[in-house]
Amino acid sequence: MSASFNNDTRAARRHSLAAESPTSIANGRSSLSGGRLTASYPPLVSSPESSEMGGLERSSVGVDQHAYAGKCNRLMKLLGGTSALLKGLRENNDRWLILYPHQTSPKIQRAQSFSEKGNDRYPLKRSNSFSAPHNGDSDFMDEDSRLVTSVDTLEFHTRLNVLKLEMKSHDHQSTEEIMESLEKSSIAELLNKRIDKSLKHLTSLHARIADKSSKVLVAGDLNAGKSTLVNALLRRQVLPVDQQPCTTMFCEVLDARENGGVEAIHAIKNIESYNREDPATFTEIQYSDLYETASEHGDIYKQLKIYCRDRRISEESLLHNGVVDIALVDCPGLNSDSLKTMAVFARQEEIDVIVFVVSAENHFTLSANQFLRNASNEKAYLFIIVNKFDEIKNKKKCEKIILDQIQQISPRTYEHSEHLVHFVSANSINLDNPYDQKIAEFEKMEEDLRNFVLKKRSKSKLAPAEHYLSNVLADITVLSEYNHGKAEEEYQNAISEFNEAKPLYDTLRMKRNQVIEEAEKIAEDTSANIHKYTKENLEKAINGVHKLPTKCEWSSILYVWQYVLEVKDEALGSIEQATRENEDFAKNMTAEGAEKIKLLADANQLSGEARQVNISKLFGRQPTEILIHIGPTDLFDIDFEFSDKLGEKLSDKLQMATLSGGALVVVASKYLGYKSALTTLWRFGNFVGFDNMKRLAIPILLLAGAGTTYYLFSDMQRVVTCKVRQKVRKHLMAEDYADGEGKRLARYGRKVMRKITNDLQIRFHDAVQEQEKRCKRLREALKETGEAKNYFGDVFKKSIEMSETLKFLKIDLEEREQLTVF
């Protein structure tokens, strides 16, 4: 219903009361009866014309209320759905840390970035994405085209609304700088707190919409005239008024019908437990004590509930309007006390309409700016009353300054400032005459306030929920799309990494046994080659001992035993030299085998460093010392076969001599190689005869002994050398020294190769285990990121659908209201 229609109704009502006597009007004052706030004025009876007009108005309101009720139900469903989305985000944050989009570089204006339109904040604005719905002004596109799958080229220079994290530090760092220094888990925890706060507020909004009554918060700075304004609206002196601040607690003024028609004042200590039917939950005070209680007992009571009657008819009254129950809540001044200021900030979230009273002399203070900006996050429209305007001389300048401030604080309010911003003087209202016609501006303000609270309840009561829902859903859309993009990016990275890891894992498993067998074969071949080479080389050295040129010096027969030892040591030295050569060969062969195994590891891309094996240390043990004992008998080899035959033919007298001579001859022939000569001598004896031989024996023996002695002394060095070397050779051959050394070196080589092969097995095992764990981790990552991608995709689509429903819900109601604001 337009303002002109109500002005006509008001005029008709004033005309019908013109005939009433001043006395009857004067009787309408407030009075104290029995200590209670009472009204002694007679019932007001409207004229037939005004009654008819009021009936038409109530009929129109009834139609609006039907639409309003339908919108309430749909809006409460959206509130419940939004709460479910936030709860899901909160619970999912324990499994998948929600990433918060924050700016990591200076803002760059480009097509794919965030943009601002006026003071409205748009979470995202780009050609291949969505524009989050904001106050019903955004166009919706297909969800799939907006749900991007890559965030590499996107710049989420976001300015979130409700879920925005605001952080400050002592060194004045920006929020983005603080974000970059925090862990993801810390940011997720901060976001959880914002979500919890939003959930609490959504619950409050749901309860507020379900509540059929409306609450109007009258807020403002100290001495702005809040209580005076409430009294003027009620046309009664209900709230205490003083030049000094006198309101230290919330004072809620309600229609007495809500208290069984009884006017009373209830002082409440615990608001949550308050029940007007239970006297134990409140203290009833007298009206005469109201001033003292409101100004002095703010530390005892949290709130006052004042039940009173509005002396005007329902068509003009705020409290008793016949449409909805209204409560006016007067609050302490914003800058009176920090705790009280915070209480006002918290309380505004429970309020349907905010009437902000600003002193025309002081304009908007810092606390007022902060309060209104905070309230603008939820409420698109604020009702602002500039009080004490009659005291200003340059009224146009004052209006311009205040309107400019309002434009910055609440653009929507500024757009409808004709109906939402009023410059009045509440103290000029004559409370003794409820129909004082002196102040037209105040009457217009009253009419606009009544129209805003009652007939535009979709704006006053539901618009805060719409506005808050729009912001929350836009934030959810930004968070879900951003996290969907991140999850998609990590999902693709996991797929790429898994496609790389799985074949490597399968290859390692398949090649492990094959490579180990190949490494073991290299080890066995190396050991066999060491054994073969060592044995052949030593056998060659042993067999070539007698051919070695000697460097030992022969002194005389007196030092023959010293010469024997020197020759023995010389022969053994040549064997030891061959042994050292064999060890060097074994080390080189082992090193080559180790390098081959290392190449096997490198060819299979095994991670980690190969175990370092000190080959020289493992081969450092000295070979077994060769112990050969050489006695005198090793230098002479006597054959007793000839002495037996000779003893049968010689006489007993010459037997010993003949034996000695024969032995000497035999020895000489044995060592000097003259067996053939001795045989010839024997035949010669048979030819001459033994009798003649007996006579010639002594001379012959002496001659033979002398010759033999001479020969032995002249060739003894060569004989001893050969005999000693022959002894060494026979001993080494008998001990199978070459094969033993070959086995020894082969055993050491096998030991080294076994260590290297075992290291290869360990590295292969570790590599297989590492790749197995990697594949398992990537499978889990694929599952986790896939679930996160699907989850955030679903949240994104649901938030878009709910935003679109909210948009059409708003458009539908605006069409019902014929797209008029006030």
Alpha-carbon distance 493 to 220, whole Å?
56
Alpha-carbon distance 349 to 326, whole Å?
17
What are the contacts of 32-38 at 24+ separation with CB within 8 A? 32/287, 32/288, 35/286, 35/287, 35/288, 36/262, 36/263, 36/264, 36/286, 36/287, 37/238, 37/263, 37/264, 37/265, 37/287, 37/306, 37/308, 38/263
Contact 129, 155 (CB under 8 A): no
Alpha-carbon distance 816 to 810, whole Å?
10
Q: What is the pLDDT of residue 313?
A: 78
Whose tokens are 């790749």? That residue is 771
Alpha-carbon distance 699 to 706, whole Å?
10
DSSP 390: G
Among 230-239, 392-401, 514-523, 537-546, top mean pLDDT goes to 392-401
pTM of the model: 0.52
Tens-place pLDDT, residues 618-647: 665 556 667 666 656 556 554 444 344 434
Alpha-carbon distance 132 to 87, whole Å?
21
Q: What is the pLDDT of residue 678?
A: 61
What are the contacts of 344-347 at 24+ separation with CB within 8 A? 344/219, 344/371, 345/371, 345/374, 347/217, 347/250
3-state SS, residue 423? strand
Q: Choose the weakest-confidence range: 222-226, 683-687, 767-771.
A: 683-687
- Give the DSSP H or E segment for 797: helix 737-816
pLDDT, averaged across the chain: 72
pLDDT band at residue 284, thresholds of 50, 70 and 90? very high
Beta strands in 209-263 (DSSP E): 214-220, 250-255
Among 368-372, 601-605, 809-813, top mean pLDDT goes to 368-372
581, 554, 580, 550: which is closest to 568 by C-alpha? 550
Please count the other Cβ atoms lying within 10 Å of the Cβ belonging to residue 177: 15
Q: Please, what sign has the CA dihedral across residues 231, 237, 243, 247?
A: negative
Q: Name the more confident of 463 and 687.
A: 463
How many CA within 13 A on the CB side of residue 436?
18
Q: What is the pLDDT of residue 266?
A: 94
Whose tokens are 């009502």? That residue is 13
Q: What is the pLDDT of residue 15?
A: 39
Alpha-carbon distance 701 to 687, whole Å?
18
Q: Name the more confident of 288 and 147.
A: 288
Pairing state between β 283-285 and 303-308: unpaired
Alpha-carbon distance 563 to 550, whole Å?
11
Q: Which residues contact 31 (CB under 8 A, 6 or more apart)?
A: 38, 39, 40
Q: What is the pLDDT of residue 287?
A: 87
Please give the structure tokens belonging to residue 484: 């969907």
Between the CA of residue 532 and those of 326, 526, 527, what are the distances in Å? 111, 10, 9
The yes-or-no verdict on residue 103 having pLDDT over 70 is no
Contact 305, 213 (CB under 8 A): no
Q: What is the pLDDT of residue 232?
A: 85
The yes-or-no verdict on residue 191 having pLDDT over 80 is yes
Q: What is the pLDDT of residue 761?
A: 82
Tens-place pLDDT, residues 415-430: 989 989 999 887 777 6
pLDDT band at residue 305, thresholds of 50, 70 and 90? very high
Q: Choose the weakest-confidence range: 207-221, 618-632, 784-798.
A: 618-632
The yes-or-no verdict on residue 244 having pLDDT over 70 is no
pLDDT band at residue 403, thresholds of 50, 70 and 90? very high
Please give the structure tokens belonging to residue 32: 């104290």
